[in-house]
Copies of this chain bind each other. A is one copy, B any other.
Amino acid sequence: MVHTITFLPHNREIQVNDGEKLIRAAMDAGVHINASCGGEGVCGKCRVIIEAGTVEGGLSEQVSPEDRDKGVRLACRSTVTGDVTVRVPVESTIDASVLRQSYVPRRTARIQQKDLNDLKEAGLFLPPVEKIYIELPKPDNQDHLPDVTRLVSHLKLHHDEHRMTVSLPVIRKIPDVLREAEFRVTATMARPIIETGKTEIINVQPGDTTDYNYGIAMDIGTTTIYGQLIDLKTGEVLSDHGEFNGQISYGEDVISRIVFAEKGDGLDRLQRVVANTINTIINKIIKRAKVDPDNISAITLAGNTTMTQLFLKVNPRYIRRAPYVPASTLYPPIRAKDLGLDVEDHVTALVYPAVSSYVGGDIVAGVMGSGLYLDEPLTLFMDIGTNAEIVIGNRDWLACAACSAGPAFEGGGIKFGMRAAKGAIEDFSLDPVTWEPMLMTIGNVRPKGICGSGLIIMTAVMFELGLINNLGKFNRDLATDRLREDEGVWEYVLAWAEETQIDRDITLTEIDIENLIRAKGAIYSGCMTLLAEVGMGMQDIERIILAGGFGSYVDLEKAMTIGLLPEIDPEKVTFIGNSSLMGAKMSSLTNRIRRDVGEVTRSMTSFELSETPSYMDNYIAALFLPHTDLDQFPRLKARLANRSSKVN
């Protein structure tokens, strides 16, 4: 059920779902309400007056009985249960311009998840594994056909199958399975990747099991590994599970893992450990979906280049040594059991190819799974993290690069930075007169720190309202005690110690902002450099696809305001989530991707940014908010001009 909320004196309306918190509705409506406690209801600052309709809750000891009767409620404790009109008390000193402040609701990227039907509609469905039920004539004195020949001949004659091979483990099973099942069996046919290839009969099961045909998709992340169990008939994800990559005990990042792998039996150990994590996930998703492991026909895995080489026990030694070359980009299909995976003999593991040492199979999986490589619009594909990978192109060409953004987007190098977990400030609004903040935290609890998406929003808001300038420096003339200098570093107090979970003031420092600017500058200049190398510019980008955990939370408008993303209609930005897992899933569903991936990988031009001369110039030009060239951000430019004209 949807309710309409009207905020006064702004006279701004917003539709929200039943049960939404009033303060969230205000934030989404672009209505500022002072609130430093993240929505936990302790600061008592978010007082509003219900003028029509009712809300549920919203009371505390900070609201006196008289105020209650006047309709006063705490916005952070009020739950919307019907249409309501809410007045936000604005301090008398406030300029009316606040009320006219442009209304920019928080916009995150649309979710783009392709499924089996999309593939079928697009003509991209080539089943990788099919099951066929057959009833064979039994051998007798007049018919001595060997068992395998009997099976293969029948498939040729009655099912128009040709060019089949049968692997030894299946040959070993066939004689007993045929007789056990009175010669009524189901053959699992793994289709060739190239058209001229052979269909491999990978399993023969007693009776009719054609309804049970499953695949596993696995994302081997440096930190976390995710797996999905997929029904190959429907494309449905039957179960999924994630676990920390067991290799974490041997190093948090890829470099430390590589170093470990170089010593003694380090490589063997890391391979075993990651296989163990994968096996834990496989066992959980199989158990949860209650499927027979014998009906699992394939497993597709994707990961960055180092994770892929470690999993395949290919020493990643040269990935971290100039000139940084991986062993291989393409890997042949491999018997999953040979990799230590806890699946039946017949299961083949397909591992996504990489493009280079730093643009790995996870990115290729995203390019393939999103269908970007088949589409017309010029697309910018980004996976933003400590190492950000960028792909630009369309069905005609593809270029890619990786750039080291640093850990700012994950809260690293930020004084009160933290991962996107409970207590992280994830949304922010600023009163442009009093410079009081409005904070929202994950889980609506008192703040503990700042996560990456919150950092972007704060910086964007502060920049647009003039609290910081285009160099990321605070306007030191402003009259607020929230701005202060601490040990020579200027900072803004987001929450006072008593409003936090950590009993210290939580601040945003100029160093934090500088780190963010460096991070976004590295990425933006990476894109510009890639585009320049192919004779194009940011204005040519027609679509953005965001991958990775970060992409799902980022406020698109704010990311454009700080110059992380080029200015583009937010409608044209989509989010594919875990690209690695998504690509692995799509590969499980159609051979078309496996057929195309080799060619796509080969044709993807990989740029080593550090060796591309224009990169450093582009980087320095990007170390501003949003950029030295404001004309690249015409909408922002217009808003800034508008604000400036009002202020003056």
Binding site for B on A (CB under 8 A): 139-150, 165-168, 171-172, 174-176, 179, 196, 312-315, 317-318, 322-332, 334, 338, 354, 356-357, 606, 608, 611
Closest B residue, CB atoms, query A171: B328
A sample of 7 more A-B contacts (CB under 8 A), given A140-B323, A167-B332, is A146-B329, A146-B354, A147-B327, A148-B328, A150-B325, A168-B331, A174-B327
Are the CB atoms of B315 and A175 closer together than 8 Å? yes
Are the CB atoms of B141 and A175 closer together than 8 Å? no
Are the CB atoms of B328 and A146 closer together than 8 Å? yes
Q: Which residues of B contact A317 (CB under 8 A)?
A: 175-176
List 5 A-B pairs, minimum CB-CB distance, nearest first.
Answer: A148-B328, A146-B326, A175-B327, A171-B328, A139-B323
- For A143, A326, A611, the residue with the greatest tally of chain B CB atoms inside 10 Å of its CB is A326
Are the CB atoms of A329 and B148 closer together than 8 Å? yes
- Cβ-neighbour of A315 out of B142, B166, B172, B196 (below 8 A): B172
Q: Which residues of B contact A145 (CB under 8 A)?
A: 325
Are the CB atoms of A176 and B323 closer together than 8 Å? no
How distant is the Cα of A313 from the Cα of B140 in the complex, in angstroms? 25
Q: Which residues of B contact A172 (CB under 8 A)?
A: 312-315, 327
Q: Which residues of B contact A148 (CB under 8 A)?
A: 327-330
> Given A141-B611, A315-B175, are A332 and B146 neighbors across the interface (CB < 8 Å)?
no
Q: Which residues of B contact A167 (CB under 8 A)?
A: 332
Q: Mind listing 12 A-B residue pairs with CB under 8 Å?
A: A141-B611, A144-B323, A144-B325, A147-B318, A149-B330, A165-B332, A171-B312, A171-B314, A172-B312, A172-B313, A172-B315, A175-B318
Identical copies in the complex: 2
Are the CB atoms of A171 and B323 closer together than 8 Å? no
Q: Which residues of B contact A329 (CB under 8 A)?
A: 146, 148-149
> Given A171-B314, A171-B331, A172-B314, are A326 and B139 neighbors across the interface (CB < 8 Å)?
no
Q: Which residues of B contact A611 (CB under 8 A)?
A: 141-142
Are the CB atoms of A146 and B325 closer together than 8 Å? yes
Q: Which residues of B contact A144 (CB under 8 A)?
A: 323-325, 356-357, 606, 608
Are the CB atoms of A325 and B356 closer together than 8 Å? no
- A179–chain B nearest beta-carbon distance, Å: 8
- Cβ-neighbour of A328 out of B166, B313, B357 (below 8 A): B166
How distant is the Cα of A150 from the Cα of B323 in the complex, in angstroms? 14
- A377–chain B nearest beta-carbon distance, Å: 29
Are the CB atoms of A147 and B326 closer together than 8 Å? yes
How distant is the Cα of A608 from the Cα of B140 in the complex, in angstroms? 12
Closest B residue, CB atoms, query A353: B146
Closest B residue, CB atoms, query A142: B611
How distant is the Cα of A179 from the Cα of B147 in the complex, in angstroms? 49
Q: Which residues of B contact A324 (CB under 8 A)?
A: 144
Are the CB atoms of A325 and B142 closer together than 8 Å? no
Q: Which residues of B contact A322 (CB under 8 A)?
A: 141
How distant is the Cα of A317 from the Cα of B173 in the complex, in angstroms? 12
Are the CB atoms of A149 and B328 closer together than 8 Å? yes
How distant is the Cα of A314 from the Cα of B150 in the complex, in angstroms? 16
- A197–chain B nearest beta-carbon distance, Å: 9
Closest B residue, CB atoms, query A608: B144
Q: Which residues of B contact A326 (CB under 8 A)?
A: 146-147
How distant is the Cα of A324 from the Cα of B140 in the complex, in angstroms? 9
- For A144, A317, A326, A357, the residue with the greatest tally of chain B CB atoms inside 10 Å of its CB is A144
Closest B residue, CB atoms, query A324: B144
Closest B residue, CB atoms, query A172: B314
Closest B residue, CB atoms, query A356: B144
- For A166, A174, A314, the residue with the greatest tally of chain B CB atoms inside 10 Å of its CB is A314
Q: Which residues of B contact A327 (CB under 8 A)?
A: 146-148, 171-172, 174-175
How distant is the Cα of A327 from the Cα of B204 in the complex, in angstroms? 13
How distant is the Cα of A338 from the Cα of B149 in the complex, in angstroms? 24
Are the CB atoms of A315 and B606 closer together than 8 Å? no
Q: Which residues of B contact A142 (CB under 8 A)?
A: 611
How distant is the Cα of A644 from the Cα of B143 in the complex, in angstroms? 50
- A331–chain B nearest beta-carbon distance, Å: 7
Closest B residue, CB atoms, query A334: B168
Q: Which residues of B contact A147 (CB under 8 A)?
A: 318, 325-328
Closest B residue, CB atoms, query A326: B146
Q: Which residues of B contact A356 (CB under 8 A)?
A: 144, 146
Closest B residue, CB atoms, query A165: B332
Closest B residue, CB atoms, query A196: B196
How distant is the Cα of A166 from the Cα of B330 in the complex, in angstroms? 9
How distant is the Cα of A148 from the Cα of B166 in the complex, in angstroms? 29
Q: Which residues of B contact A150 (CB under 8 A)?
A: 325
- A337–chain B nearest beta-carbon distance, Å: 10
Q: Which residues of B contact A328 (CB under 8 A)?
A: 146-149, 166, 171, 174
Q: Which residues of B contact A313 (CB under 8 A)?
A: 172
How distant is the Cα of A428 from the Cα of B325 in the complex, in angstroms? 76
How distant is the Cα of A209 from the Cα of B338 in the complex, in angstroms? 29
Are the CB atoms of A323 and B174 closer together than 8 Å? no
- A306–chain B nearest beta-carbon distance, Å: 13
Closest B residue, CB atoms, query A147: B327
- Cβ-neighbour of A323 out of B141, B314, B318, B325 (below 8 A): B141
